[in-house]
């Protein structure tokens, strides 16, 4: 039994009610009381507060029966907006969503520099632009989350971004000083895992998401919560050594997993063997259709090394759900069956292995949903989205 002072209990009840309203979409006061176990008086007081704050709205449900039409409650999706940002190597993606996590607009800004100050000014400019666009809503921008392709400490300081060669950058404080709003700074793979759990896999509280683009990142959900480790660096499985004294990695070690099973490595190896520059996903699709022998050999090697790493992390985490985020695997219809065929150990155990529907959109979708969860201060967030509503991001060659 939860005990505490009245204000604390009220706060807990409020969070619980908001979660249930979002989960059900439209729900009556009577049904809320039934599923939460809270009495009608408590429901009435809480609902009145939320209506006054414009966080929820009332709608009269259409029905053909005699009697009063029930009044349904739902989240006011236009009360404020979340801004998700994917700070990648070649570009920055900005996605604005409503409070139910549906994307409203997306802007992609090309990057031709790794200079921290220049990129900081660019981030601040676009953040201010988005703030100006949202002034007509009750709460404006309710939160900003930035996904970084590198290590982030528990204090949200960027420890290291290999592609930009950044070390110990306090992006959070620098943006707050210039834009007047404090963003959350998260590892991109963690945001990918969060997006999968919030939008797609509500049933799975123990989920791993493996992102395979410019490197390999692992997002970990344990008991429905992001697991980031003691210093915030959990999930750097791309630097797990799978080939002793193998290919050199920019982390300083040799034989790291991402040197064999990231998409950037796949493109690099294929380009070198074919002596062709600028291979893109269109070329890959053609080679798949033509059953190109060199391509098939590279793909087989890619899948074999990927399976080795997956076997290791499955034994380490015993997840319920494993989501692979990879354009290459999505294009290759037989890839998933090949991977499953390689995971035959009697020790390894998981419930489902699948390929993400989000692709490159995963980071910004995870960022938007985390901003919403933090703003509403709720214990869990369950959203839904149709694939056609996802922002359609152009997938670059990941080199």
The pLDDT value recorded for residue 398 is 42
Question: Are 230 and 349 contained in the same domain?
Answer: yes
Is there a domain that residue 392 lies in? no
Count of other CB atoms within 10 angstroms of residue 101: 26
399 pLDDT band (50/70/90 cuts)?
very low
Question: Are 284 and 148 contained in the same domain?
Answer: no
Is there a domain that residue 336 lies in? yes
Q: Is the pLDDT of residue 170 over 70?
A: yes
Question: Are 56 and 112 contained in the same domain?
Answer: no
Is there a domain that residue 225 lies in? yes
Distance (Å, rounded) from C-alpha 88 to C-alpha 363?
10
Is there a domain that residue 213 lies in? yes
Q: Please report, for the domain that includes residue 57, its CATH number.
A: 1.10.10.10
Token code pair at residue 170: 């306090």
Question: Are 215 and 308 contained in the same domain?
Answer: yes
Residues 6+ apart with CB under 8 A from 325: 192, 209, 210, 211, 212, 213, 355, 356, 358, 359, 362
Split into its structural domains, the chain has a count of 3
Q: Is the pLDDT of residue 192 over 60?
A: yes
395 or 387, which is more confident: 387
Token code pair at residue 62: 């259409």
Section 240-267 average pLDDT: 93
91 or 163, which is more confident: 91
Question: Are 14 and 88 contained in the same domain?
Answer: no
The pLDDT value recorded for residue 295 is 85
Q: Are 168 and 129 in contact (CB under 8 A)?
A: no
Question: Are 178 and 119 contained in the same domain?
Answer: yes
The pLDDT value recorded for residue 395 is 47
Token code pair at residue 364: 């910004």
The pLDDT value recorded for residue 64 is 58
Q: What angle do CA 79, 85, 87 make, to 5 degrees?
A: 170
Question: Are 210 and 264 contained in the same domain?
Answer: yes
**Which string of DSSP letters, residue by residue, matches 22-43?**
HHHSSEEHHHHHHHH---HHHH
Q: What angle do CA 69, 76, 374 make, to 5 degrees?
A: 135
Mean pLDDT of the chain: 91
| Domain membership of residue 230 as a residue range | 203-360
The pLDDT value recorded for residue 195 is 97
Last residue of a domain, one of 75, 100, 129: 75
Is there a domain that residue 68 lies in? yes
Distance (Å, rounded) from C-alpha 133 to C-alpha 127?
10
Last residue of a domain, one of 75, 109, 130: 75
Is there a domain that residue 385 lies in? no
Question: Are 215 and 343 contained in the same domain?
Answer: yes
Question: Are 208 and 343 contained in the same domain?
Answer: yes
Q: Is the pLDDT of residue 17 over 70?
A: yes
Q: Please report, for the domain that includes residue 253, its CATH number.
A: 3.30.420.40
Question: Are 306 and 330 contained in the same domain?
Answer: yes
Question: Are 282 and 332 contained in the same domain?
Answer: yes
Coil vs helix vs strand at 276: coil
The pLDDT value recorded for residue 396 is 52
Provide the β-strand partners of residue 248: 254
Is there a domain that residue 198 lies in? no
Is there a domain that residue 284 lies in? yes
Question: Are 216 and 117 contained in the same domain?
Answer: no
**Which string of DSSP letters, residue by residue, matches 147-199?**
EESSEE-TTS-EEEETTTTEEEE-HHHHHHHHHS---EEEEHHHHHHHHIIII
């Amino acid at each position: 039994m939860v005990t505490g002072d009245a204000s604390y209990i009220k706060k807990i009840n409020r969070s619980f009610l908001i979660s249930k309203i979002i989960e059900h979409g439209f729900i009556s006061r009577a049904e809320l009381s039934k599923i939460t176990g809270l009495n009608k008086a408590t429901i009435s007081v809480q609902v009145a507060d939320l209506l006054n704050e414009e966080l929820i709205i009332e709608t009269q449900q259409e029905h053909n029966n005699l009697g009063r039409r029930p009044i349904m409650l739902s989240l006011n999706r236009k009360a404020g907006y979340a801004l998700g940002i994917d700070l990648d190597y070649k570009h920055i993606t900005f996605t604005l969503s409503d409070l139910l996590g549906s994307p409203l607009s997306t802007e992609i800004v090309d990057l031709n520099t790794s200079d921290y100050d220049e990129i900081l000014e660019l981030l601040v400019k676009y953040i201010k632009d988005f703030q100006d666009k949202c002034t007509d809503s009750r709460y404006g921008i309710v939160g900003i989350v930035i996904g970084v392709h590198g290590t982030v400490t528990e204090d949200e300081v960027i420890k290291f971004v290999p592609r930009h060669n950044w070390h110990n950058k306090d992006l959070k404080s620098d943006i707050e000083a210039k834009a007047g709003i404090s963003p959350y700074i998260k590892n991109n793979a963690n945001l990918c895992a969060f997006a999968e759990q919030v939008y797609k896999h509500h049933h799975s509280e123990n989920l791993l998401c493996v992102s395979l683009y410019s490197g390999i990142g692992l997002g970990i959900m344990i008991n429905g919560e992001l697991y980031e480790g003691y210093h915030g660096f959990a999930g750097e499985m791309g630097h797990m050594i799978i080939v002793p004294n193998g290919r050199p990695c920019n982390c300083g070690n040799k034989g790291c997993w991402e040197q064999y099973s990231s998409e950037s490595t796949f493109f690099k190896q294929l380009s070198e063997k074919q002596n062709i520059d600028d291979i893109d996903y269109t070329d890959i699709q053609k080679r798949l259709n033509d059953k190109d022998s060199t391509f098939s050999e590279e793909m087989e090697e890619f899948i074999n090394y990927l399976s080795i790493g997956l076997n290791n992390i499955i034994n380490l985490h015993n997840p319920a759900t494993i989501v692979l985020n990879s354009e290459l695997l999505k294009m290759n219809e037989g890839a998933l069956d090949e991977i499953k065929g390689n995971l035959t150990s009697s020790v390894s155990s998981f419930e489902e292995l699948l390929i993400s529907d989000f692709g490159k959109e995963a980071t910004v979708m995870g960022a938007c949903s985390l901003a919403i969860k933090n703003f509403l201060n709720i214990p869990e967030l369950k959203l839904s989205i149709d694939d056609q509503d996802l922002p359609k991001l152009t997938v670059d060659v990941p080199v």
